[in-house]
Each structure stands twice: as structure tokens, then as C-alpha cells.
Amino acid sequence: MSEQRFPGFSAEGARFFRTLAKKQDRAWFKAHQADFEALWKGPMEALMDELARALDPVYPTLDLAPPKVFRIHRDVRFSADKSPYKTNIAGILSVAGGGSGPGAVTEGAAAIYAHFGLENLGAAGQFNLSTEGLARYRAAVLAEPTGKEIAGLVKRLEKAGFRPIAMSSLKKTPRGVDPDHPRADLLRLKGLGVSFPPIPGDLLYDRKLLGWLVKQAKAAAPLVEWMAYTTR
């Protein structure tokens, strides 16, 4: 792993993504690719490298995969929107086998997922589960004391400004589960992660963003560990 140092993103970067959102043009992007790499890609790679070094000791019994920064190109094969470029840059640090992103993290959890640009988000957890993983997750949520444990973890995180998230969820509780079950909200989810509290606006352009993200990821680590061990 390289020893890059995250400097903070440049305030000029927001203008780049605003223009890209309007252009969505391959010729324009190619002409400005060096700007993208200087304003976003390079700093994001440095940020993910530092996050990996800071969070590795938080998971002494689990392995962290090398950090990954996603391509800016959108996968438009199955989308009605054929815009070729994303309007943010994203990265993930996976735990215990990982996956390639929040839409593909099946039997591994994310110590942190983040994207920055026209939309900013920090998150951690296991956002999507395979059929087998989902069955193990639901069994653990239904069981005692594991169900109370995860419900308590989620409640504490919610009080700190985190929000439970998943890639998808059911409108009703799974078949055979009482709709009034005390953990019905968790049972409807097809994965379990948390989004971090909103990122303070000016923090994006400061090296202090690194420390802020580390703090949130450490707070979410017990939930990530619970998911990693429960669903594998």
C-alpha cells in the first residue's frame, strides 16, 4: 500500500462535476481528464489509502481488502439513462472478502464506503446480501440474544446521527414473521448498513475530513463486525 497523504479536496472540484453533469460528453471529459485526476482521483486514492491504514487496527480479527476507488464511467448496459459519467467519485474499503461496491458487497462488509462530488455520502455495513446470507441475517435478527444485540447497536448509532440503509427492502415483514415483531424494521431490510451523519460542508476541502471519516467508521465498526460474522 502506498504512503499517500490526503490533502483535502479542492474547492475547484465542485465546478468540474457541475460542468460534467451538463456536458456528459466523452470528448469534453477526455480534454479535462487531467483536471479530474488532480482534483478528485488523486486525492481520493490518498484518502482511501490513509483510511485503510487507520482502520486496519479497528478489525484485529478480520482482514481488510486493499482500498478500491471506482471508475467514473457509469455502467449503462441496463439503464435508461445513458449518461456515460458519474457525478461523484467513490471508494470502498471492504472487510472479510469484500466485493466490488455497495451493490455487490454480498458476503463481505464495508468498513467504509464513501462518495464525493455533487452528492456526498459516508457509510459502512453490508448493504446487500445473497439468498444464503440474507437467511442467516434474518435468523440472527429473530434469535435471542443476537437480535437484541444488533437492535441495540442500531439504536445507539441512530442516536448519534447515523441512519440504517440497505440496497433494497421489503414493504412487509418476511413471510411467517409477525408484522408487529419488535425488530420488524430490521427484518424488512435485505442487508444492513448505516449512512454516516451529514458531512459538514467545508470539511470536504480540508485534511480534517480524514479524521472525521475515521471517527464515524470506528463508531460503525461493531455493526460491521456483527454483519461480517453473522452472515458468512
Q: Which residue reads 465546478 in cell numbers?
A: 15
Amino acid 141: pLDDT: 98
Half-sphere exposure in the Cβ direction for 179 (13 Å, CA): 3
Average pLDDT of span 198-205? 91
Cα(71)–Cα(89) distance, integer angstroms? 8
Amino acid 97: pLDDT: 53
pLDDT at 151 over 70: yes
Half-sphere exposure in the Cβ direction for 15 (13 Å, CA): 5
pLDDT tens-digit series, residues 152-196: 999 999 999 999 999 999 999 999 999 999 999 999 999 999 999
First vs last C-alpha separation in the chain:
27
* Among candidate residues 116, 111, 4, the one with its CA nearest the CA of residue 50: 4
* Among candidate residues 125, 121, 103, the one with its CA nearest the CA of residue 196: 121
Domain 13-230 annotated CATH 3.40.1000 = no
Q: Delimit the domains of the chain by residue range.
A: 13-230
Give Cα 218 distance to the centre of its chain.
14
Amino acid 152: pLDDT: 98
pLDDT tens-digit series, residues 82-113: 999 999 999 999 996 544 444 333 357 899 99
